[in-house]
Chains A and B, each alone.
Chain A
Amino acid sequence: MSQYRLTEEGKKYLKTGLPEKQLIEFLSKSGETEIDIARKELGETFNIALQWCKRFNVVEIKNGRISLTSNKIPDEIHNLEKSLNEVQDEKEPVSSDAQTLVRRNLIEEEKETLERKAEKIVGSEITYLLPEVIASDMWKKKPFRKYNVTVSGPKMDIGKRQPYSRFLSEVKRKLIEMGFIEILGSSITTEFWNFDALFQPQNHPSRDWTQTYSLKYPKKGLLPENKIVQQIAATHENGWKTDGAGWGYKWSSDKAAQLMPVAHDTAISPQTLSSKKLEIPGKYFQIVRCYRPDVIDATHGVEFNQMGGIVVAEDLNFVDLLGLLKEFALDFAGADSVRFLSDYYPFTEPSVQMNVKHPKLGWIEFGGAGIFREEVTKPLGIDLPVIAWGLGIDRLAMHKLKINDIRYLFTQSLEWLKDARVV
């Protein structure tokens, strides 16, 4: 006795032939034709027919028209129809074809066979609710094994962002919402952008080798267009047209061309300002991996990120600058209590440091800002006030991630990463 019997659909196709065969036969008569015509001809079985014809690679569809690639009916179709006949005749079909027919719901297993199979799998109680158990109704006869539902299954790892990297992405999203445009930094820059364009004299203490790195290889880069270089040189030497006195020394283009790992994010800002793409009004930000020769400890990593940027618009002033900082404090630290202190940067005047009030730690330093000196903006061809700002992004991240050692931002512990929560 066969294990299988025909379903209603199977019985139907035994008379009419399988849908894919019907489509092939129609097309071999009609030749290339509109899909819609074929669809009409086959009726509701068209989609099944098309799917199988595609699988057997016998039709081709182009520009809404369908045609045969060969007039021969594939052997697979003959074999399936042969198996249907065998089930009808209570003979045993080839098992691979039988499986296909079961999947196509054209034949089904006999109830007794199913029950026997299910009985063998289940034993005295049901562990997994297998398809055989469902089809044979075995679940009505045998009890389900009880699970200890209070215990969770084996530990599982999920794919996750690195928490600090994710934090940086979130910060960027927030800045976009505030209307800032992202500018990409680069690891290597010239002293020109890192220092000279920011009006830091070439004999400034911070340019000593103990304060920044320099490159062994390659040594020298190129300076930008000559006009800007000339204007910056003159501004350093005598103030140029800035109404300032300058630093009063002989500026060296050779020193300015020296390459160095970027030491602060503000190195990007003069490049943004001198770019032809600068929009006015415009708000820009950059998050830059920075390098300085610090002794590595809980507050100094090998590398650190700085976030900062500029705002350029007509008639910006110091009151606007404090407003911007307050907005940052609200949006990034959720702090509405802020305090401003005077500060010093060689490239801004006036300059300010902002502290925010932390419920437990008291006043903490949150960021610095200022209005770029005219000695910075004018030589770059900008005759408008430009606000330069920077926020202590690493400190913010440490606070958010609840860590007190900066080295964890670049953690090398897989266990720590696995344990770190996403939310």
Chain B
Amino acid sequence: MRGWFDMPKIDVSYTDLCSLLGRKIPIDKLRDDLLYAKSELDEANGDILKIDVKDTNRPDLWSTEGIAREIAGRYGKTGLPKYNVKKGKIVVKLDTKSPVQPMAVCAIARNLKIDSSFLSQIIQLQEKLAVSFGRNRKELSIGVYDLDKIKFPVRYTSKHKTEIKFSPLGYEQEMTAEAILKNHPKGKEFSHLMKDTDIYPVWMDAENKILSMPPIINSNDIGNLTTKTKNVFIECTGYDPKFLLVVIDTIAAQMIDRGGLVESVSNITGTKKVVTPSLATKKFSMDMNYINKVSGLNLDNKTIVSLLKQARYDCQLSGDKLNVMYPSYRSDIMHARDIVEDVIISYGYNNIPAKITSIATRGKLSELETFTGNLYEISIGIGFQEILSYILTNSDNLFSKMNVPQESAVEIENPMSRNWSVFRTWLIPSLLEFLAKNKNVEYPQKIFEIGDCVLLNPKKETKTEDVKKVAFAITDVKVGYEDISSVLDAFMKNVGVNYSLKEKPHTYMINGRSAEIIIGGSSAGFIGEIHPLVLKNWGLQKAVVVFEIDVSYLM
């Protein structure tokens, strides 16, 4: 199985990580420890460690603080991390009318000692959350501000785009919203998120100063953190409260891990009040036996409890019922399976003796594959070279260059390149394309391909169907119809199928030198000499003779 999308890759300072853990861990030991935090050390370059976090659903691990928190479980700091959130007095009013990211949650953190490592982690976590968790700001975006530069109360509101004017991050002068989308690098990158509306959301303080314009950009002064910043205001805007709560709790945990004091904020929409962050403890109940059933490890209860504590859970056991307590930012826990995996990770994948169990079953090749095996044997026996082409091509190759009318074919809506945008309906264009790329190679050239074509079929679940075809081509200075008809005859004799040829003109073949291959009364393919007009379209300078048959007629 290939990973679906890139796993978050984070930069971590080795000294910073060790200082958060309160001990110096040799790099080789750390390499092993990272496996217990669903991570892999990809590269260690001086002080900078490049770490792959192998879970797109564990944003709590996408920072030095998160990695340290998880690894600490292996150095005695076990059980649920304790996080206190002080009840704060700050109230934020949400009254945006923009369809873009209409929801918001906030938090406040004070008494921070922001050094360069911490600062880069605040920025990195924000970015990873917005990219991986927020689908590149489509689902959510985040802002962190210098609290002391803000005049409260703060509002999340909206304005017509022509009425928005402020200095975006990195620019001294004021710009209109439209100018930002047009000229600012972030504006250009994310302008597509605003394309359906003229009403843009903005964060504004008591003096109507703009803090930011989500999901595009912060302001240059308030929205700019430095190592001098002591207190911060954090907001996260988006659509789905489920995601927003995870994000705000994840950032709050990061601040507390750095010694900050986190205060809650009351987010008011109309008469509705939501207090964030919560960092509440969540509970999950499951059958204790399920762990051994899925893992196959035969662990006793005591071991399981201690493994879970190392993975930063708290546990209560009553009879066979296991209650696990976990922090609110763990949104990945949906099923008892998720707990089982954490038990196994905590046990260590490489501490498990992998035993090869044999399940007696009888192997079988598909009928089609078995049959095409025979076709390969015959084709190479006749002395032809097999080629393998892409199934994707384009309508020029399939139709225009072949001098045949355009037909409807299966087409991709969002191709990377027009060259590969349509699924092939026949093989001859693939063969001609191949020959056109080998004009300087010795002649004669004799090639064949057995490959899938994709045809429309309204009766099928996918409205399409893969059809396996076989095609042969010879090109030479002097080559004619009987050179290919004798190949066809040898091929068919050895397949053991009776066929006949019926003269039939094709626009891509020379008149009087092309025929239909008839098997059991139906047209199963065609044979002939390619028309010079088509050769010219492909830039071919020597004659080409071909045949192509639908494999299902041969079976």
Contacts and interface: CB of A to CB of B under 8 A. Distances in A.
Contacts of B355: 319-320, 323
A313 B296 CA distance: 14
Interface string A340-360: 111111101111110000000
A373 B132 CA distance: 22
A165 interface: yes
Given A244-B335, A281-B359, A338 B354 contact: yes
A225 B360 CA distance: 32
Interface in A74-116: none
Given A188-B410, A245-B334, A266-B1, A224 B294 contact: no
Interface in B448-490: 452, 454, 456, 461-466
Given A179-B361, A303-B390, A319 B35 contact: no
Scoring A162, A224, A279, A410 by chain B CB atoms within 10 A of each residue's CB, the highest score goes to A162
Contacts of B445: 414
Contacts of A243: 335-336
Scoring B132, B385, B456 by chain A CB atoms within 10 A of each residue's CB, the highest score goes to B385
Contacts of B335: 239, 242-245, 349, 373-375
Interface in B393-419: 408-417
Contacts of A338: 354
A188 B387 contact: no
Given A218-B463, A239-B334, A159 B345 contact: no
Contacts of B75: none
B522 interface: no
B341 A224 contact: no
A254 interface: no
B363 A180 contact: yes
Contacts of A218: 410, 456, 463-464
A265 B412 CA distance: 19
A350 B437 contact: no
Report whether over half of chain A's contact residues are helix, strand or loop; otherwise say mixed. mixed
A342 B296 contact: no
B179 interface: no
On chain B, which size bracket covers the interface?
A: 35 or more
A255 interface: no
A323 to B, nearest CB: 5
A344 B7 contact: yes
Given A190-B462, A266-B1, A205 B361 contact: no
Contact of B411 (A160, A215, A342, A350): A215
Contact of A317 (B139, B295, B369, B379): B295
B357 A323 contact: yes
Interface string B366-386: 101100010010011111111
Nearest to A291: B392
> Closest 3 interchain pairs by CB?
A317-B296, A390-B1, A319-B296
28 contacts: A159-B379, A161-B376, A169-B373, A179-B359, A183-B366, A184-B366, A206-B4, A213-B412, A216-B413, A222-B461, A243-B336, A244-B335, A244-B337, A245-B335, A266-B1, A279-B361, A296-B417, A322-B354, A327-B356, A340-B350, A341-B40, A344-B3, A345-B1, A345-B3, A345-B4, A349-B341, A350-B337, A371-B337
Interface of A: 157-162, 164-166, 169, 172-173, 175-184, 186-190, 200, 203, 205-206, 208-209, 211, 213-218, 220-224, 239, 242-248, 259, 261, 264-266, 279, 281-283, 289, 291, 293-296, 301-303, 306, 308, 311, 313, 315, 317-320, 322-327, 338-346, 348-353, 367-371, 373-375, 385, 388-390, 392, 409-415, 417-418
